[in-house]
Amino acid sequence: MVAGLIQITLDDFVLATYGEAVLKEALHAAGLSYPLLEPWVSSCPYHDRLLYIMTQSVIDQVGMPPETFWNDYGRFFVKESTEMGYGKMMSCIGRDFVAFLRGLNNLHLHLSMSMTGLVPPDFRVENVTNTSAVLHYRSPRPGLGPFVVGLCQGVADTFYALSDVKFELLRSRDDGSCDHEVWLVSFEAVSQHEPESVSFPVLKADATSRDMETEPLHSHAVQGCPYHHAISVKDNISLRPHNSDGLMHDANQPNQEDVAYALLHYSPSPSLFYKLFPFHLVVDRDMRVVQAGSGLLRLMRSSGLQPGALASDHFKFKVPYAAWEFEELSNLGASCCLLRTKIGLELKGGFDQTVMPDGQPALLFTGSPRVKDLTELQSHKLFLSDIPPHDMSSDFVVMAEQRQVEANQAFLLEMSKIEFQKTALKLEKEVERSSQSMLKLRQSLEHALSIRQGHVNTTFDVDSPAEKTIKLLKKLMHGDEVDMNDVIQLHDAILSSGHDMRTPMNIASRLKAVTKGNSDVNRSLMKLLSLGSTEDQEGQPQLESLVEEVEEEVSLYESMCWSGDHSVPFSISPNVSAPVSGVVRNPKSKEHEGLMVLQDIEEGSDVSLSHGVVGLGRTASSGLLDDLEATHQRCPGTTGPRGSLDLGRTPESNKGALVMRKRALPRRRTSKNILPQDIPAHVYQLTKGAPDKVLSVLEQVHEWTFDSFKLNEVTDNRPLSTLAFSILKRHGLVQDRDYSQEVRLARFLCHIEDGYKDNPYHCRIHAADVLRNLYVILTRGGVLDKVSGNDPVDVTFLAAIISAVIHDFEHRGVNNDFLIKSADELALIYNDRAPMENHHVSASFRALQQDSLNFLKGYPSKIVNSIRRSVIDMVLSTDMKQHFNIMSMFGAKFNSGESTTAPSPGQATAGMIGDGSGITGHTHMYMSGSLDEEAKALALQMAMKCADLGHLTSSREVHKKWVCKLEEEFFLQGDKEKAASLPVSPLMDRDKEGVSTSQSGFFTVVALPLYQSFTAAFPSCKQILLCAMDNFNM
């Protein structure tokens, strides 16, 4: 790393010497812009790579030798940095030019204190005379020798009036003669100024001045010193030759006569020496420790510092590049040294030659702790009081701390300034871009409006106005360009959508195109998806058809009555309102709990009802009346007058018309101990384990395609309970140690399975098939791992398995439309809102009220409630009238913003899958991180929907078999409608084409968009999309 000052002066040098074009090209070569978006900061370090790339670019552009460029830049650096305010610092480094060279290490150490990451070079001066010196230069950066020469020549000329300093390269790493650069530096002879003589008063030895007598240091015993001898301060001074021998006098060393005179009058005591230099170190010729200061002893005694220890074991040189050798250290002279102790503390000081009391040569190191701030000082268990008062290191530490605070504030201000500059530049560009965008939008709008008339969209787009709005908003938030055709389409979609923003626009006219004019298929899909009346190609409702449908419903109610003792005839009021369509239910909402009120009415209830009236336009307030009306019909022992249901009356007029009296109920008898003799054979068989022929089929459960008919054969018509018990057992949700709980689960599964009627399609085989599909989607498809989140995986998994098991419990083989138009009790209980699906859940949870079936007994209420909420959400999601609502909410939560379009028959191929993130028109939508509660619920609902339509992803033979069974069940409903003199639903008349003719439309409108959206969010499930496409192309 190099200091930002280097980068600043380099830019100025290139600009001033070679021009703006060369600088611009150099910055671009380094990947930077001109002018710089973020200016260089002088006190910040930057990577060496930028320096080398820029300089090489300049050298290549101007075609000059690198040595010349670097030398010129070195001289320019001195001039530029002086003008920037660094001249005083450079002029104060040394008294003369040689002292400056010796002080370069000290200067870099100062700079490195404030520039973290700075890697300083190393300089060493040897063989100094009046006119020359040998300079050693070491640096991890290659090729900077000419820069050092230019810099030193510039300093000599600027601050020391030496205009003819020459550098002769003796050795270099370039020619392999050395691992660093060595120059012989020649300069003019400089006359030295000798310090003036100073007269010292002679101190007499008396009782009051005994401590100041001239006594050799080693004659005193140092209290607490572990060493048996000490150094002599008298010999601590290296007496260097004078100018008379031809050597240059070192201004950093004291004059010999002055020292001798001073020592005759005063010599410090050993205790005072230890106090003045607590971090000194003495080593002998063998580089073994002789003694150390009190500060070092206190800090390093635990690390093994003691007399006789090798200094190299406890101290390492950081500056200069030196080894622990006596001769080499003796030649350092006044060079600054930086030692790193074994405990991590750095000591800055210098070495001087001295002699021991026995006359043996030694080296004395005197220094101070080098710390950047008070934090580092405390990390070494040091305090400011540990530093002698005469040592200004403590002042520097405090100043550094203050400077750091100021530097942080200055840095923040500089960064703010840079951010303001960047913001201003962005605003300028944004203004320009906005002007261009405005012009472009105006032109695009004019073009879109010009082609709007007569434009027909031939692709089937299942995106609702709500999804189109969200996707357009995402584009705007991301700053993407918006196509005005999309804006106009959204505008038209919102205007034509009315109150329903989650249904695809112009769905009726597009269904006509998909079904190729087959009115039965078209009407069937419209009723299935609860799309209301048909629409013309302009998307406007055909009011005539709406009136006809209302009149048909009114006549239907007029012609029907309930049979039996508790039948209630209908009287029709002329004030009739159109049926209210289904509402969009939030997956997190608890409104479904209101649909389960019957679970608290136990068997044997004696309820007396006085009937009220219900209007055709039902609201939530009328749901309780319908619920209790159905209860009155089902519960034995109910009495009460017959009433009439006035379809014209409002719910408010029904208040007080219904009275319920609940008598004392007998306590329900429960079985606390389940004995083997009480267990039915089929229940006991479940707990005992599956035979081999069943196990061989169950081994294929993990495959993407499965034949549930085969499972039904080998289990003797027990596919659902066998599969569910096996899955729960395999995943540890059936505890072997609790046999009663295991039996309760087996009883519950068999009870639910027995509740599936022998319908051609909605039977126990279908329930087993859905269970198996959902199991694979959750496990192999990775959905379970994604939706579990912080919840226990077992809770989510158990809820999903229960949902699949009960999702068509007690299905009557007819759809919700039949229940509604025949005024079935379920339609009245649940206000025409998914009566069949609500009954599946309600009846299943009522069964759990029986002790012998309640396998959740003993679970914490919090877990039971969580399971119940999930089951309700998942089962109700199978109501196809909520299809577009759920698809729209799932797309808004998971979709990346691309449209979902379905292919035409024969066009869907495996090649459209790509990387598994969806078919053409989709981008990868898999959400990383955890999902929120609404997203988890939506993911489980979509998984349930995919599983419920799983026969579309079966093998071709199995798929055909299911289609035939579905067609037969539809025909049976048509037979019932004929018998009840009701209009026959589309595709349910035996005398016409059946549901097999609607498969292409159902794939296009419902199945493929569903699987595309789901597998885009969960790519591991892409196999179900491939299988569906295969059947679609069949």
Q: What is the rounded distance in angstroms from the CA atom of residue 122 to the CA atom of residue 51?
A: 20
Q: Locate tokens 């938030």: which residue?
A: 477
Element holding 25 (H helix, E strand): helix 20-29
Active-site position among 682, 762, 951, 959: 762
From residue 445, alpha-carbon distances to 428, 438, 470, 474, 863 in Å are: 25, 10, 20, 20, 56
- The DSSP code for 358 is T
Strands 132-138 and 289-292: unpaired
Residues 6+ positions from 569 with CB-CB distance below 8 Å: 561, 562, 642, 644
How far from chain centre, in Å, is Cα 68? 52
What b/e sequence results for 215-241 when a residue is b if at least 16 CB atoms lie within 10 Å of its CB, and e otherwise?
Answer: bebbebebeebeeeebbbbbbbbeebe
The count of C-alpha atoms lying within 13 angstroms of the C-alpha of 528, restricted to the half-sphere facing its C-beta, is 19
Angle at which helix 739-754 crosses helix 835-847, to 10 degrees, equals 150
- Alpha carbon separation from 947 to 697, 804, 940 (Å, rounded): 19, 8, 10
Alpha-carbon distance of 508 to 536, in angstroms, equals 7
Q: Which two three-digit tokens encode residue 230?
A: 């000490």
Residue 826: other Cβ atoms inside 10 A: 22
Cis-peptide into 35, omega within 30 deg: yes
Radius of gyration of the chain (CA): 47
For residue 891, give the 3-state DSSP assignment.
helix
Contact indicator for 955, 963 with CB cutoff of 8 Å: no
* Helix (H), strand (E) counts: the chain: 37, 16
- From the list 647, 522, 528, the residue with the least C-alpha distance to 579 is 647
Q: Which residues are CB-contacts of 775 (< 8 A; sequence separation ≥ 6)? A: 701, 727, 801, 804
Q: How far apart are the first and last CA of the chain?
A: 67
Question: Within 10 Å of residue 921's Cβ, how many Cβ atoms?
Answer: 16
- Among residues 286, 285, 261, 268, which one has the least CA distance to residue 390? 268
Task: Specify burial of residue 200 (Cβ count, 10 A radius: 0-12, 13-18, 19+).
Answer: exposed
Q: In angstroms, what CA-CA distances link 158 with 77, 80, 111, 154, 155?
A: 12, 12, 21, 6, 5
Cβ atoms 851, 748 nearer than 8 A: no
- The residues, any chain, with a CB within 8 Å of residue 268's CB and separated by 6 or more, are 217, 233, 276
Amino acid letter, 144:
L
φ and ψ at residue 830, rounded to 5 degrees: -105, 20
Question: 762 an active-site residue?
Answer: yes
Under 8 Å between Cβ of 154 and 74: yes
The closest of 566, 627, 636, 623 to 598, measured between CA atoms, is 627
Cβ atoms within 10 Å of 652's Cβ, excluding its own: 10
CB 597 within 8 A of CB 951: no
- Dist. CA 86–CA 982, nearest whole Å: 101
- Kindly list the catalytic residues: 762
